[in-house]
Amino acid sequence: MTARKFITTPIFYVNSVPHIGHLYTAVVADTLARWYRFTGHAVKFATGTDEHGLKIQQAAAKNQRPVQAFCDDISSKFRHLFDRTNISYTDYIRTSEPKHHAAVRAMWTTLDARNQMYPSAYHGWYSVSDEAFLTPADLVDGPNGTKLARDSGQPVELMAEETIKFRLSDWQAPLAHAYARGQVKVVPGVRERDVLAMLASRDLMSDLSVSRPTARVQWGIQVPEQPDQTIYVWLDALTNYLTVCGFGDPERTEEFARWWRRDQIVHVIGKDIVKFHGVYWPAFLMAAGLDVPGELLTHAHWTVDRTKMSKSRGNVVDPNAVVDKFGADAVRYYLMLNGGVVDDGDWSADQVTKVYKKELAGQLGNLYSRATSPALNPLGVFPAAPPTGAVCLPSSSAAKLHSLLHSLPTAFATHMDARDFSKAIQLVVDAVAEANRYFAVEAPWTHEPGTRLDVVYNALETARMAGLLLQCVMPGKAGELLDRLGVESGQRHWEACRFGGGGIGSGKVSGGEVLFPKIK
């Protein structure tokens, strides 16, 4: 039976256009999705947009646009960005779609039938920007006697309204148990400790309002048989993960059972929404009698000059502009190498330029050009592996490179499993740098053309393995590299990623064009 993985990104709010942080999340999730495909898994990969709630309703009004048209516009901008950066999603979900409405209503009805909700007034704080109900402990003092949400710094308002509450407090102990048994894992461990602290907070674990009066929030999904209440946007949004698997659709029950399984689910999210995914979401799921997600991969944020990106500071990095300049692959590579799961990454266009010149053009591009140079490889073939000791005894630099390449795939996989993407990529960079050093030491150009095919072979083999492993990070350039090395599409999988697996003697390689041209 084929192993499966279900990978998701958060669904992004359509109140404004995407920035580099949104692209980062999508690239992390896409790298994982491609990695799992590479290693033989069937993958479902969902992304999309979160379109309901007061935040969106107000943003559309501010822009003087009908809400649906406003959502259509911004949602298509996210989709366009993800398409041009090769995000290989299988599902693009929008919460304004009828199938999602049906899934949310089914979720509500399930929770209701299981006696998980009751009518109750809410008196307290709300942050429209975070779409979150907040306790006094979540607030800090703002200017002129106002209050702000501690985590996001966003304004809050005091509310008193009739709502329907979810029995969150009942799930405190079962949730703590699920974490203790490792049924839900938050990566990295520091953020799991944050979740455990949240679970221990009586305030945070008190019953949660899961509806808002329709009189206040019209743009949303109404509570079944109670149209004066609108379903809380986070319950609505989180349910998107079920919608894409077929929840609530009587014709897709088998599909749902196939995909919605604890050990298959990886939710990739930013550190800002850990409470919603680590506390509320598994509580809703347990209450509905459904599997909890096995892994929450929570990453840190991108800053600019070590400051938070914000419209008011005018320092928001436009992902389309950087993709125009550097190309999608270089941007993906930079994000994955320098972005952090644990620590924030600091965006710098100068750094992207440096990484492009030094690592991509200077190392990988250089190795490719050398190995395919007509002067050294006049027939333009991927030569067969030289029988050890027959033509040329391997030098100590060849032995060092061979040992690196033998251990590379397993070491790479270990870092990918630990979600340490930067370390995984660094291993490939190191192997390529070693191959370039080896090439310089052996100086094949000082020999008759075509006589040091062993050096050509080792260089091509390094480039082939680098290309195979980097497919998940920069699918465009890695694919181009493999095309030029004559690696057939059926040979671009994990089993083929072994040192000595390349070169069947007749495979044609093509040199000539540089792989990473100068940035304009």
Binding site for ligand ME8 (CB under 6 A): 10-13, 21-22, 24-25, 50, 237-238, 240, 269-270, 272-273, 301-302, 309
Integer angstrom CA distances of residue 287 from 163, 198, 201: 19, 18, 20
Task: For residues 493 and 459, give the distance between their C-alpha atoms in angstroms, rounded to a whole number.
Answer: 20
Give the type of residue at 201: S
Hunting for tokens 């106002």 — which residue is that? 146
The residue (of 304 and 441) whose beta carbon lies closer to ligand ME8 is 304
The residue (of 288 and 408) whose beta carbon lies closer to ligand ME8 is 288
Q: How far is the CB of 315 from ligand ME8 (least distance, A)?
A: 11
Q: How far is the CB of 269 from ligand ME8 (least distance, A)?
A: 5
Parallel, antiparallel, or unpaired for β 265-270 and 91-94?
unpaired
The residue (of 21 and 246) whose beta carbon lies closer to ligand ME8 is 21
Q: How far is the CB of 374 from ligand ME8 (least distance, A)?
A: 45
Task: For residues 133 and 139, give the distance between their C-alpha atoms in angstroms, rounded to a whole number.
Answer: 11
Q: How far is the CB of 80 from ligand ME8 (least distance, A)?
A: 16
The residue (of 24 and 45) whose beta carbon lies closer to ligand ME8 is 24
Q: How far is the CB of 265 from ligand ME8 (least distance, A)?
A: 13
Parallel, antiparallel, or unpaired for β 208-209 and 157-166?
antiparallel
Task: For residues 139 and 298, give the distance between their C-alpha atoms in angstroms, rounded to a whole number.
Answer: 23
**Those residues with Cβ within 8 angstroms of residue 168's Cβ, 6 or more apart along the chain or in another chain:** 205, 206, 207, 208, 279, 280, 283
The residue (of 309 and 441) whose beta carbon lies closer to ligand ME8 is 309
The residue (of 296 and 432) whose beta carbon lies closer to ligand ME8 is 296
What letter would DSSP give residue 381?
B
The residue (of 56 and 223) whose beta carbon lies closer to ligand ME8 is 56
Q: How far is the CB of 56 from ligand ME8 (least distance, A)?
A: 9
Write the secondary structure of 419-472 as one string of H (helix), E (strand) and C (coil).
CCHHHHHHHHHHHHHHHHHHHHHHCHHHCCCCCCHHHHHHHHHHHHHHHHHHCC
Phi, psi angle pair for 507, to nearest 5°: -65, 130
